[in-house]
Structures are given as structure tokens and as C-alpha cells.
Amino acid sequence: MWQAIGFLGIRRSSSILMFISHLTQCFMELEVKLRFYLLDVSYEIHGGIPVILMWGVSDDGRRVLVLDRSFRPYFYTVLEEGVRESDVVSRIKLLSRGDSPIVSAEATQKKYFGKPVKVVKVVTVKPEAVREYRELVRKVRGIVDVVEADIRFSMRYILDNNTPPCQWYEADVELVEGITRYRASSLYGLVGKLRPLDVAVPPKLKVLALDIEVYNPRGAVDPSRDPVIVISVATSGGDLKLLTASDGPQPQDREVIREFVNYVLAYDPDVIVGYNSSRFDLPYLVERADKLGLSLDIGRVKGSTPRPSVHGHYSIPGRLHVDLYDFAEEIPEVKVKSLDVVADYLGVVKRSERTLIPGHEIFKYWDDRSRRELLLRYARDDVVSTLKLSEKFLPFAIQLSSLTGLPLDQVGAASVGYRLEWYLMRSAVEMGELIPNRTEREYEPYRGAIVLEPKKGVHENIAVLDFTSMYPNIMIKFNIGPDTYAEEATENCYRIPGTSYCFRKEPPGFYKSVLTTLLKLRKAVREEMRKYPPNSSEYVILDERQRALKILANASYGYMGWVGARWYFKPGAEAVTAVGRSVIEKAISIAKNLGLEVIYGDTDSIFVSNRPEVAKFVEEVMKELELEIKVDKVYRRVFFTEAKKRYIGILDDGRIDIVGFEAVRGDWSEIAKEVQENVARIVLETGDARRAVDYVRNVVLELKQQKIPLEKLVIWKTLTKSLDEYEVSAPHVTAARKMVSLGFKVEKGSKVGYVIVKGQDQISSRALPYFIAKLSDVDVDYYVKHQIVPAALRILEYFGISEKQLETASRTGRTLLDFR
């Protein structure tokens, strides 16, 4: 019966009702209860009507698909004050047309930025018709705005039914038979609504990691020309396979792609993970398969292939494709985001213990049979690293998906602002608030947080105190938001210090309501964590959830000042920072009154001498300012320059913090960052700058002896515009142009890695792409004078060490004790 849906032409609303009635009778005779974990929500058009597809895993381990044929697309129109609702409804209904008629237009009431408004809810049949009706309805007399017409249909379903993915649900369903286009153990039709279950632990999801290697004798690869030589797969079930192309004058990859498709279908993963797979692996496989007359039919909808979707990710129908690179991008400590570096940083696969091959030489390892085994080891290490990274990232991603409503395959690709926005949208629906349209705006700067002038020099035993969720708590305390903004100050308003802004005390605004819920949820989750041992699955899940809640709450202030936000409100962002500055100033005053020396202050934290009075300071701050503050960390020794946001410190556990120096910048070579961190460690641990000088001298000697690996000399820089827009050839531009001449695709946003080689020309003209440079060609003097020495001097110059002393390795210099 359901097979026939696609062949029915639905032209009139009465026909749709008859069709639905007939459809209902075709279900099997008895309803059953289904408990399942919701993975994803999508939709298809069946017989002219949209059908929601809910992919999930049942509590007995079956991969199920639940169909809901009752939901229809709609949007709201905001009416002029005093207009007759019936007149507007009549005018809207006259616009009904074609195979997606307006099936209803009903007047109701909502809130818009906290104010009651009359609206008309306009319902049609096909989701794509919403855009057309939106423009037509906008012109109707008596309508001042059209909202919620830019929300994707499947996400509209999640919002309206409060059914975010990555949660357990129970539903009354009827078994559906006769539909063969879906790869699922069981198909059901939904009866009524999903009911959330109080179950935290996800089912055992089947995860498949993917990585490909491409034959690249021409440098840049082209799917219309260059075959895939290795497809590596590793699964959460413990399987590991290296699928390889067949030999010939040129590798043949038709069969290896077929083998990959068959493997995916046989394993039937819930989640497919890759590293940069939305930008390379999946689009390449899709295009390559198409070139060979094949279909990369690896989804749970037969005949469908991976395709680009929202936020730049590649979607696989019925499965969740998660590009782990999106989460690696959010690790600020790692500047080079290559798979091997990120895996090493997170401790999943040590870089020193894995096989590494220069990317541009992959074809050589394939052609040379004596080295092909190394290529296969490289491919194996890549896919194993990818699978292990998924174990690190997916628990957090699952909690973000559950909170925001964004499906797991989208939540990583979405920015922090978009993640928070979807949480706000879920809250708006629950509170009866209309969701504002997204509009384009020019960036408007506003005054930010307070940053104190640091006390230059070396300080010992320093406590760093952080205000807990300071900005969200300020927004709650002063009821800050666009719906509480008061044009004129009254007794019932909060006046913001240092500004002319006022916000009504009552009723609680939209932001206050949402943030109060977020912080209460986090507190409840942290309380719940105490019931479980830290190594239990329940504890790990709850820990990831509280972290996700914290990130969402802390993003609220920045979101309000983001010009792309639906709930954008610049005065609110300015008010929050104004209060934040006042809070820090008052906290500093309290600290000084208690005899604590204040060394530095930045945004929501202050650095003070770590003395017994710190406990009293915390008590008084919480009492007077009504904000929670706690000791975040203690430095055994910390060194400040005269500049803001620039210091180095050593913590009690021996870790080094470096803030504001080259070691945290991405456009310096790895050797410069390594030298700076080690110099910091030496001077902080020993108190003797002369030892650091000796260390730098030894690095320079190793560089001259070619003992420093070439990879540590690579400088990475991002192209901020297309190559033809650059008038001056900076080193990375020169290197990029050389890459293009070698056949590589380089465009705006590409990261270019280069080294500086010997020669008499300007430095910019001596930049070579790192993969064609040789260690013997490296300009040692350049790296000494422009990388190693400057990086070390940023610290050592404050201890009386000069550039000349470093280069001549003089033993003179002062110790840390001279800076007390």
C-alpha cells in the first residue's frame, strides 16, 4: 500500500483528507508500544504529502523507522493592531493554489518579544510551498510581518513536538508493511505523539570510521581522473579493513568502491565518522563513483547518496555522518589540525608511534611495491585514529544534539551561536514566543569586558579566581533582553551602571527564563553526577551534559551581540559588559580591603596573592555581589609583562600556561612554539634565565646540524582572499601559487604550509610548499633570526637577555630572583 503513495497525485485538500483516511485503514490491525532511541528526523514527499521519517534504535536493538504522516508545514503572519482578523484570514485563503493549497488559516495569539500580538497561522501541504506563500502573504493588507517561514520542515517537527534527537521515547505505533525503499528492521506508523522517557544511557550505537587515500601523481587530486587506492574502515564492533584498488598501468577503483558500498550496507552503521570527510572523503567518493557509473548508495534510503546539506556537512539519508574535524576546530590549544596532531594531543594515538607519509608522496608508496605496506599502515593508523577520536567527541556531541535539537550530524558543523539559537528556538515554542526572522546586519562594535594592567614581573603563589557563569548570571539578575528593555527609567527598572540603559524587573524576560532553566539544569546534572562513580557510563554521560549546558549558557552574552542572531540586541550586550566591568571593580576593592594583592584581572577572573584571606574574599564577594566565585587554579610562579593578556605561569601540577605569546599563535613554526614553551618552563622551574639561553643555543646547533625534523619548520598561514586579490606576494601567497602550478587546488580559506629555503632573493620569494622542500635546502639563518630567537626573546628580554647574547650564547643574564 505505502508503495503506491509516490504515484498518487494530490491536487485538492479534500482529496488529501480522503487519501489520509484510506491510508490509516491500511495499517496492520493492532497498535503496539515502541520504545526507541531517536537518531535523526528527516522527511520525504509521498504521494504529494510530506511524511516525517524518524530513524531510531529500539530498546531490543532493532534499527527502526517511524513514519508520521500527520504533520504539515506552516508559518505565522503578525497582524496590524485593530485589523479585523476574519478579513485577513479571508484574503489569505484566496491565495491558495496548485498542488499545495492553503489547508487552513486560523487567527490566534502569541507573544512577540514579550508583547501579546494577534497572528494568523497559515498551513499548507508541501514544505517547499512555504517560501512562495510567504512572499504572497507578506503583501496582504493588514499584515505587518511574516515569521517562522525560514525554519526547515524536519526541524519544525522537532520544535513543535519537543522531540530532540539523541533521546529515548515511547510511542504507540502500527506496523507498516509493503514499503521496500527503506533499509530498516521494522517500519511503523506513528499513532499520537512521542513520549519522552527518563533514560540517560544511549543504546550501543554502531559506528563506522572512514578514511580514503587517492592516487595523486599530479599533486592535486581530481575525482574525474584520479582513482581511490585505499578505503580504510574501522568499526566500533572491532572490525578493521583496508580495501584496496586493483593493479594495472593505473590503479582501478571500480571494485573497491563497490566493495565499500557492500561493506557499509552489511555492517549497517548508525553513525559514520570521518576526519575532514565533509570536505574531502565523502564528496570525492560520490563524484568518483558517479564518474565510474556507480552509485554510492550507502544510506538507509535505497537509491540515495550522500549530499551536501546545511552548515556545510554531508548528509547520509538514514545514517548520521559526523565530521570529527568540526570538533577538532574547537580545540584552541592545537593550531595545526591535522589528524595525527589532534590524535596525539588527545592521547588516542601517539604521533611517535604511528606511520607518517608526506601527503604529496602517497602515489609513490603505491607504485613502489616495496613501500606499499607502509602506505597501508599509514591508512590503518589514520582510520584507527579517526575511530578513537569519535570515542572522545561523540559523547559530547550527543549531549549537544539532545539539548539543542540539532541532529548529531549537524551539531558539530554548526557554530556555537547556531547551537544556542536552536536551544532558544525550542524554548520560544514552549513559552508561546514567536521566533524572529534571521536578518542581515552590519557589524556594530561595542565596549567589551574589563582587562586590568598587570603588575609586571614574577609573582609566586598566585590564585586565579573565576566568577561562575558571570555573564549569564548578570543577564538573569538584571533581567536583560530585548523584551524587557525600557525606553525610560522608572522605579520598576534596573539601571545599568555606566550606561543609560534600563530593564524592567518584571515579568521575567525571555533570556532570563531560558538562562535560569539552563543553569538550574546544569546544577541538577552536577548533583546527579555525585550518585555515580567517575568511571561509570552514567557519570561520563552526565559530565558531558553539564559541559554542554555550560557552553550554551556562557554563549548567551556573545550571541546577543552577534549580528547574525535572531534575538540580536546590541544594547543588551553593552549592558552585560558594563555590569561585568562594575563587578570586577567591586571585587578588586573587596580584595584590597582584605589585604590581598591584586596582580591582574581579565573579563570574569582576577589574580590575587594566594593567602588565607582568599576564603574570606570568596565569602564577601558572594554576599555583596550575589555572584558565585571560586578558585580556578593556583600558579606556583607566574610572570607578567607590561602588556595585557600576556603572561606565562607554572601550575601546581607542573603544567605550563602561556597566554599572549607566539606559542599560541598559528603563524609560527612548531620549533618556535616549542622553544618558547621550553624557555618558559626552564625559567619558571629553575629561576635561572641562563639555563634557558643554553637551551636555545643547543636548539640552534641542532638546526645547523639538520637534526630538527622538517615538519617542525613548517609555517602555516591561511589565505584570507583569493590568490588573484593579493597585490603583494607574502611568503604564504608565493607558496600557494607554487602549489597551483603543481596542480593543487588552493582557494580562499586554504591553509598553506611552507618553509623558507636558502637563496639571495627576498624571503617571500624563497617560500616553498613544505612537501617539496628538503631539509638541506632550509635557510637556517632565517629560522634562527626570525623564528627561534624572537620567540625566546619575548620571554627572555624581560630578564636582561639581548638578541646578541642569544645568538652568541653568552652566559650573562639575570635570574627570576632579580624580578621579585
pLDDT average per 10 residues of sequence, the chain (820 residues): 35 46 48 95 94 98 97 97 95 94 96 96 97 95 96 97 97 93 96 94 96 89 94 97 91 96 98 96 97 97 93 92 94 82 92 89 94 97 97 95 96 94 97 94 77 82 92 95 91 92 95 95 94 90 93 91 93 93 93 93 89 94 92 89 78 80 65 88 85 91 92 88 88 91 79 91 91 91 91 84 68 40
* Sequence-ordered alpha helix ranges (H) in 162-312: 254-267, 282-291
Q: Which amino acid is at 798?
A: Y
Q: Which three cell numbers stand for residue 570?
A: 546590541
Residues in the chain, total: 820
**C-alpha to C-alpha distance for 320 and 306, rounded to whole angstroms:** 11
**C-alpha to C-alpha distance for 32 and 30, rounded to whole angstroms:** 7
- Determine how many CB atoms are found less than 10 A away from the CB of residue 803: 14
Enumerate the β-bridge partners of residue 33: 172
pLDDT at 484: 96
The CA-based angle 220-222-228, given to 5 degrees, is: 100
**741 vs 69, 714, 723, 744, CA distance in Å?**
55, 20, 12, 7
332: three-class secondary structure by DSSP:
coil
- Determine how many CB atoms are found less than 10 A away from the CB of residue 108: 11
pLDDT at 128: 95
Phi, psi (deg, nearest 5) at residue 112:
-130, 110
190: three-class secondary structure by DSSP:
strand
- Determine how many CB atoms are found less than 10 A away from the CB of residue 626: 10
* Sequence-ordered alpha helix ranges (H) in 611-688: 613-625, 670-686
**C-alpha to C-alpha distance for 19 and 3, rounded to whole angstroms:** 14
270: three-class secondary structure by DSSP:
coil
Torsion of the alpha carbons at 75, 76, 77 and 80, rounded to the nearest 10: 180
**C-alpha to C-alpha distance for 649 and 460, rounded to whole angstroms:** 9
**388 vs 224, 274, 557, CA distance in Å?**
32, 11, 34
Q: Exposure of 63 by Cβ count < 10 A (0-12 exposed, 13-18 middle, 19+ buried)? A: buried
pLDDT at 327: 94
The verdict on whether omega for the bond into residue 217 sits within 30 degrees of 0, i.e. cis, is no
Q: Exposure of 401 by Cβ count < 10 A (0-12 exposed, 13-18 middle, 19+ buried)? A: buried
**326 vs 388, 574, 604, CA distance in Å?**
15, 30, 28
**At CB < 8 A and 24+ separation, what contacts does 645-653 make?**
645/451, 645/602, 646/454, 647/454, 647/600, 648/680, 648/684, 648/795, 649/462, 649/684, 650/681, 650/684, 650/685
Single out the residue of 317, 232, 327 nearest to residue 281, CA to CA: 232
Phi, psi (deg, nearest 5) at residue 372:
-65, -35
Single out the residue of 325, 225, 237, 334 nearest to residue 281, CA to CA: 325
**C-alpha to C-alpha distance for 171 and 195, rounded to whole angstroms:** 6
**C-alpha to C-alpha distance for 99 and 124, rounded to whole angstroms:** 10
Q: Which three cell numbers stand for residue 57?
A: 534504535
Enumerate the β-bridge partners of residue 108: 119
**170 vs 148, 203, 403, 429, CA distance in Å?**
29, 14, 19, 22
**C-alpha to C-alpha distance for 687 and 615, rounded to whole angstroms:** 29
**151 vs 148, 160, 241, CA distance in Å?**
6, 11, 41
**C-alpha to C-alpha distance for 49 and 101, rounded to whole angstroms:** 11
Q: Are strands 115-123 and 167-175 parallel, antiparallel or unpaired?
A: unpaired
- Chain-centroid distance, C-alpha 297: 28
**C-alpha to C-alpha distance for 496 and 575, rounded to whole angstroms:** 6
8 Å CB contact between 41 and 158: yes
